[in-house]
Structure 1
Amino acid sequence: MKFEGVIFDLDGTLVDSLEDIADSMNSVLQGCGFPSHDLRSYKRFIGNGIKNLVSEALPETFRTEELIDKCYNFMVEKYRYNFVNKTRPYDGIAEMLTELTARKIILTVFSNKADELTKKVVKALLPSWKFEAIIGSSNDIPRKPNPFGALLISRQLSIAPENLIYVGDSDLDMQTANSAGMYAVGALWGYRTKEELVSNGAQYLLYRPLDLIKLL
């Protein structure tokens, strides 16, 4: 099979944003008088958008729609100013992107992070590589595992889904890839486990970023 492009998840795949997200949300929780969480907990919370993260982080008995909305607004505002304090590309990402570019493989990003922040993170931390499409969640783009965004990228690039590799670190990414008819690849350096990736349809596993080149 000839692969012509790659769709990357962002958080937990290209960049490690765990600490900035945790710091921002813990600040919101503390400001509201609630207990904070450790990084291990945030590995579970991340992946399905900030609003879901806010809901998961709040004590279960306080998860009213009104409070979730209030804390979501606080979180978005806090994270908007702290999204690259500690966030960095994973080791090996730069070399992988350079090698893919040299092989004329098209690079794209599809994230459940808000579209505005997705574009800001890529611009700030991955400026040396050209991404033909960068898409986050919005009113027009439903969150993963809905494959709409992945299939939109396929249409924009005029590349058939079966000729696209989809790389992510979570169950939602593997479900999205398979629903879109793309080649599902799990990144083992991310926030979730090998078992989760395999049980949700990973067709190939990466132990380090440059392992992706073996598929080409």
Structure 2
Amino acid sequence: MTQPLDIQAIAFDLDGTLVDSVPGLTLATQQMLAQLSLPSVTKEQVKIWVGNGIDMLIKRALAAVNGSDAPFELAKEAFNRYYDDAIEEGTQLFPNVLTTLDKLQQYHYPMALVTNKPKQFLPALLKSLKLESYFSLVLGGGDVIKLKPHPAPLYQVMATFGLFHDQLLFVGDSKNDISAAKNAQCLTVGLTYGYNYGESITTSNPDYVFDHFEDLLTILPSPKAEARK
């Protein structure tokens, strides 16, 4: 890509991009299955099920243990109860996330969070991770009519921030993230360390591929502060 970038704002995925949420999701899934008297699953299984929202994670877990006949609503009620207890302890920031977000905030980039995680889990989680002050817009499952890979959440980000599609950079770790951004005609960063159903993020052809979160700073030099005030 040779043309100068005109990035005016940045949107981020959450699970697999900013945070490692698999431990908490695994614990809640295992507890849910135990309550339903179904066989358990492993952390490695849960990791490849993450990315399409909690409902799909539950459905994949039930199908994996031949428990698809179990009432979904009963399973979801159990999962939500257990995840509410496990989410904070079972979610950790990836390395250099806070320092990088600090730098981007100093650069005066407006930032949004766009996740398929249900919105009811987000306020307490973001507060516990000290992330809440970075994002002027937070969109979770239930805040928009469609989840990623549909572009609807990114359209909402662009409308809120008053941007053209080529002024928004979306940073994610899965093909759902890259597809959502491409469908919205936004620039994309794919991170290699996250969750992508066991596939390499390069197969989704993001505009940039980085191994470390702080590598974002290599394509986002400090803009003139006055230009963003």
Normalised to the residue count of structure 1, the TM-score between the two structures is 0.93
Contact 2:144 2:152 in 1 (8 A): no
Q: Are residues 194 and 101 of structure 1, via their aligned partners in 2, closer, same or farther at CA, if it must alter by over 3 Å? A: farther
1:3-152 equivalences in 2 (<5 Å):
3-59=7-63, 61-64=66-69, 67-127=71-131, 129-138=133-142, 140-152=144-156
1:201 aligned partner: 205
List gaps (5 residues or longer) in structure 1. none
Q: What's the offset of the Cα at 1:111? A: 0.3
Aligned to 2:219: 215
The alpha-carbon distance between structure 1 residues 193 and 48, as it changes in their structure 2 partners (threshold 3 A), is closer
* Counterpart code for 2:25: I
1:148 Cα deviation after fit: 0.5
Q: Provide closer, same or farther for how the CA distance between residues 191 and 179 of structure 1 changes in structure 2, counting only shifts above 3 A.
A: same
Q: CA RMSD in A?
A: 1.8
- What TM-score comes out, normalization by structure 2 length? 0.88
Q: 1:87 to 1:195 in 2, by over 3 A?
A: closer
Number of aligned positions between the proteins: 215
**1:186 matched to which residue of 2?**
190
Q: SS of 2:194's equivalent?
A: coil
Structure 2 residue runs without a partner (length 5+): 221-229
Separation of aligned partners in 1, 2:16 and 2:167 = 23
Structure 1 stretches of at least 4 aligned residues deviating more than 3 Å after TM superposition: 193-196
Q: Does 1:161 align with 2:157?
A: no
- How far apart, CA to CA, are the structure 1 residues paired with 2:209 and 2:127? 27
- Match of 1:108, SS? strand
